[in-house]
Amino acid sequence: MSLNLCAVFAFFFVSFLPGVTVWAEDLNIYFKTTPRIELLRPYADPANMSLLITGADGRPVKQGVVDIRLDAPEPGGFFSTDFPFVEGTRLSEMRMELRQGRANWKFLLPIRGEYRLAVVVRTADGGKASKDFKFNVRENQKKWFALTGFSIGLFLLGLMAGRVFTAVPKSAMVVLFAVALLVESSQAAEPPRIPETENAGLEIEAGTVGRPTAVRWFLTNAEMAAKPNALLTLTITHLEKEKIAFAVERIPVGNEFSMKFQFTDGAEYRVVALAEVPGKPPLRSEKVIGVTAIEPPAKASVPALAYFVGLIALGLGAGRWTKRRAVVP
Residues 40-59 contacting another protein, CB under 8 A? 43
Nearer to another protein, 139 or 276 (CB): 139
Residues 93-152 contacting another protein, CB under 8 A? 112, 139-140, 142-144, 146-147, 150
Q: Which residues contact 264 (CB under 8 A, 6 or more apart)?
A: 72, 83, 86, 91, 110, 111, 209, 245
Q: Does 80 bind another protein (CB under 8 A)?
A: yes
Q: Does 207 bind another protein (CB under 8 A)?
A: no
Angle subtended by helix axes 141-166 and 298-327, to nearest 10: 50
Decide: residue 45, CB within 10 A, 0-12 exposed, 13-18 middle, 19+ buried: middle
241 vs 263: CA distance, rounded Å:
13
Q: In the bound complex, what is the minimum distance in angstroms from residue 278's beta carbon to another protein?
A: 44
Decide: residue 116, CB within 10 A, 0-12 exposed, 13-18 middle, 19+ buried: middle
Give yes or no for a contact between 106 and 49, defined as CB atoms under 8 angstroms apart: yes
**Furthest C-alpha separation in the chain:** 100
The single residue among 22, 214, 293, 318 that binds another protein, judged by CB under 8 A, is 293
Q: Does 206 bind another protein (CB under 8 A)?
A: no
Q: Does 313 bind another protein (CB under 8 A)?
A: yes
Q: In the bound complex, what is the minimum distance in angstroms from residue 56's beta carbon to another protein?
A: 45
Residues that bind another protein (rule: CB under 8 A) add up to a total of 48
The single residue among 84, 127, 207, 212 that binds another protein, judged by CB under 8 A, is 84
301 vs 135: CA distance, rounded Å:
26
Q: Does 262 bind another protein (CB under 8 A)?
A: no
125 vs 20: CA distance, rounded Å:
12
19 vs 25: CA distance, rounded Å:
17
The single residue among 165, 177, 206, 290 that binds another protein, judged by CB under 8 A, is 165
Q: In the bound complex, what is the minimum distance in angstroms from residue 300's beta carbon to another protein?
A: 4
The single residue among 182, 206, 326, 327 that binds another protein, judged by CB under 8 A, is 182
The H or E element that residue 19 is part of is none
Q: Does 300 bind another protein (CB under 8 A)?
A: yes
Residues 2-41 contacting another protein, CB under 8 A? none
Q: In the bound complex, what is the minimum distance in angstroms from residue 159's beta carbon to another protein?
A: 12
Q: Does 157 bind another protein (CB under 8 A)?
A: yes
80 vs 59: CA distance, rounded Å:
43
279 vs 217: CA distance, rounded Å:
20
Which chain residues interact with another protein by CB under 8 A?
Answer: 43, 79-85, 112, 139-140, 142-144, 146-147, 150, 154, 157, 161-162, 165-166, 179, 181-183, 209, 265-266, 293-298, 300-301, 303-305, 307-309, 312-313, 316, 320
